[in-house]
Amino acid sequence: MNGKRIYIPPMAYGSARAFASALRAIGLDAEPTPPSDSRTRELGARFTSGDECYPAKVTVGDFMKVLERPETDPEQVAFFMPTAQGPCRFGQYAPYLRQVLDANGYDTVEILSPTSQNAYAGLGSLAGPFVRTGWRALLCADLLEKLLLMNRPYDERRGDTETVYEESLADLCRTLEETPVEPGVQLRALGASMVRSRGRFRKLRDRRGARASLPLIGVVGEIFCRLNTFSNENLVRSLEGYGAEAWLSDLVEWIWYTNSEHFRKLKLEGRIWSAEALGAWVRKRVQKHDEHVLIEPFAEDFAGREEPDIYEILECARPYLPREGAFGEMVLNVGKVVYLARKGAAGIIDISPFTCMNGIVCEAIYPRVSRDLGGIPIRNFYFDGTQSDLDRDLGVYMELARSYRGGGTSA
Ligand code: SF4
């Protein structure tokens, strides 16, 4: 990256900050793109044709906003753009961004798109620390987000939980940046940071005392749109305003899924005993171990809210979308709906970009899933930056969820 500053798109606010800290921890210069705003939409619309998925527009808009700042030297800029294989348009985001940059005279701006498929291109000897530190940062950011959503709807004073969340996120970022990347040392330091955060959230909970639990609404959908509060008009916050608690599908779910797909493909190609398979197996073992160490302190806090193993989600989806015949987020979303319903959700919301093929497939399947689950209300919300009736629609939806939870029939 030759001293360039890497900008991280804020798929999820906390994850982007923690990930930027992870990159700084391994010696790279990184920061999240500045907060999205109306200029993001303006530039996104100007530099895309209108056919792209909404997350592509938002990220292009945010990146172009960085480039239009007078103090930005394009020679010193790199954009981090995750990518994926498969039929979805997501795989085209990075090549598309390259085209946009080249066509507008920004050919010196680099795109960092490291994956296991391209051997973490662009990172050289930093690939190992990048994978491990990045993984841990995303895991911890997900844990903090989970604590935020489990506590915020019960705030006595608006803003209490967010203050604690911000303190905890700052603690995580500081820990990442100030701890040597030696794996054992780093894991112990991150574990201690998580325990400190647990203490802050527990103190908050003890201060406000016992409260009746609110209806639990599972939130699934396209990964960027469901996690990026700008894209989804902060739907979860509005939902909380209607007296609900949200259980949002986290970011690392996708990483577990891509790992499991990697194994499935190696098996299909008869390469399960290859060096590549061995490497993937070792990586998975290491990631599982990290996850175990970091989640373990929250066993009591997350009782009843445990995140499922990826294979459990895939099995839940099997009657509707068997993983051998369907691919990507549609499988995860359908499986997660079933899982969340079993965990007591009063309803499910699917957040997707307008025209998202995953959202459209899921919407076609949800009526059957809902019937099989006793009529649980499942509602798709699509976003393209022009949402107008979100608040009213959420109010109506929460009435359905309350009636389902109370044993009435719905949706
Ligand atoms: S998941 Fe949906 S929004 Fe994302 S790239 Fe695919 S079609 Fe587009």
Nearest alpha carbon to residue 387 among 234, 226, 228: 234
**Nearest C-alpha to atom 7 of ligand 1 is from which residue?**
356
Confidence band of 116 (pLDDT split at 50, 70, 90): low
Mean pLDDT of the chain: 93
Ligand 1: which of 89, 228, 352, 360 to mutate, most ligand atoms within 8 Å of CB?
89
Using left for φ > 0, alpha for ψ between -120 and 50, and beta otherwise, residue 245 falls in beta
Q: Give the pLDDT score at 38.
A: 96
Nearest atom (ligand 1) to Cα of 89: 5
- Which of 53, 57, 382 to mutate to test ligand 1, by most ligand atoms within 8 A of the CB atom? 53
SS3 category, 24: helix
CA atoms within 13 A on the CB side of 84: 16
Distance from the alpha carbon of residue 329 to the mean position of ligand 1, in angstroms: 9
CA 88 to centroid of ligand 1, rounded, Å: 6
Enter the pTM of the model: 0.94
Ligand 1 pocket mutation pick from 51, 222, 232 by most atoms within 8 angstroms of CB: 222
Quote the strand ranges of 96-213, DSSP E: 110-112
- Whether residue 55 has its Cβ less than 6 Å from ligand 1: yes
Of the two residues 90 and 53, the one the predictor is more confident about is: 53
Ligand 1: which residue has its CA nearest to atom 4?
90
Shortest-distance atom of ligand 1 to CA 353: 3
Q: Which atom of ligand 1 is nearest to the CA of 54?
A: 3
- Give which of 23, 101, 111, 97 is closest to 55, Cα–Cα: 97
CA of 357 to the centre of ligand 1 (A): 6
Condensed to tens digits (0 to 9), the pLDDT of residues 150-165 reads 999 999 999 999 999 9
Query: How far, in Å, is the centroid of ligand 1 from the Cα of 368?
Result: 23
User: Measured between alpha carbons, how far is 57 from 385 in angstroms, rounded to an integer?
Assistant: 10
Q: What is the reported pLDDT for 406?
A: 61
User: What was the pLDDT predicted at 212?
Assistant: 84
Q: What are the C-alpha distances in Å from 162 to residues 9, 31, 97, 152?
A: 21, 21, 34, 7
User: How close is the Cα of 245 to the center of ligand 1, in Å?
Assistant: 26
Position 302 pLDDT exceeds 90: yes
How many other C-beta atoms are found inside a 10 Å radius of the C-beta of residue 273? Answer: 8
141 touches ligand 1 (CB under 6 Å):
no
Q: Among 90, 92, 329, 351, which is best to mutate for testing ligand 1, by the most ligand atoms less than 8 A from CB?
A: 90
Rounded CA separation 14/180 (Å)? 21
Ligand 1 pocket check for 88: Cβ under 6 Å: yes
Q: How far apart are the C-alpha atoms of 143 and 135, rounded to whole Å?
A: 13
Mean pLDDT for the stretch of residues 180-184: 95
Q: What is the pLDDT of residue 408?
A: 42
The string of pLDDT tens digits covering residues 229-283 is 999 999 999 999 999 999 999 999 999 999 999 999 999 999 999 999 999 999 9
> Residues with Cβ < 8 Å from 69, sequence gap 6 or more?
none
- Tell me if 112 sits within 8 A of 79, measured CB to CB: yes
Distance in angstroms (rounded) separating the CA atoms of residues 91 and 319:
27
Cβ atoms of 251 and 11 within 8 Å: the answer is: yes
- Best substitution site from 85, 223, 355, 356 to test ligand 1's pocket, by max atoms within 8 Å of Cβ? 356
| Across 382-401, average pLDDT | 91
Instruction: Report whether residue 353 contacts ligand 1, using a CB cutoff of 6 Å.
Output: yes
Collapsed DSSP state (helix, strand, coil) of residue 301: coil
pLDDT at residue 288 tops 80: yes
CA torsion angle for 294, 298, 302, 303 (degrees, to 10)?
120
Instruction: State the DSSP H helix or E strand holding residue 172, giving kind and residue range, or none if neither.
Output: helix 160-178
Instruction: Kindly give the number of the ligand 1 atom that is closest to the alpha carbon of 92.
Output: 5
How much distance in Å is there from the Cα of 222 to the middle of ligand 1? 7
**Any atom of ligand 1 within 6 Å of the Cβ of 215:** no
90 in ligand 1 pocket by Cβ < 6 Å?
yes
Angle between helices 183-208 and 160-178 (to 10 degrees): 170
For residue 89 and ligand 1, the question of a CB distance below 6 A is answered with yes
The reply to whether ligand 1 has any atom less than 6 angstroms from the CB of 382 is: no
Mean pLDDT, rounded, for 160-174 = 98
| 294 touches 252 (CB < 8 A) | no
Highest mean pLDDT among 115-119, 121-125, 396-400: 396-400
Residue 407: pLDDT band (50, 70, 90) is low
The CA-CA-CA angle for residues 379, 148, 258, to 5°, reads 65
Q: Report the C-alpha gap between 259 and 79 in whole angstroms.
A: 24
Q: How far does residue 89's CA lie from ligand 1's centre (Å)?
A: 6
Residue 351, pLDDT > 50, answer yes
**Tokens matching residue 283:** 């990586």
Helices marked H in 119-159 — which ranges?
127-151
The answer to whether residues 335 and 316 touch, using CB atoms and an 8 Å cutoff, is yes
Give the Å distance between the CA of 4 and the centre of ligand 1: 29
Is the distance from the beta carbon of residue 356 to the nearest atom of ligand 1 less than 6 Å? yes
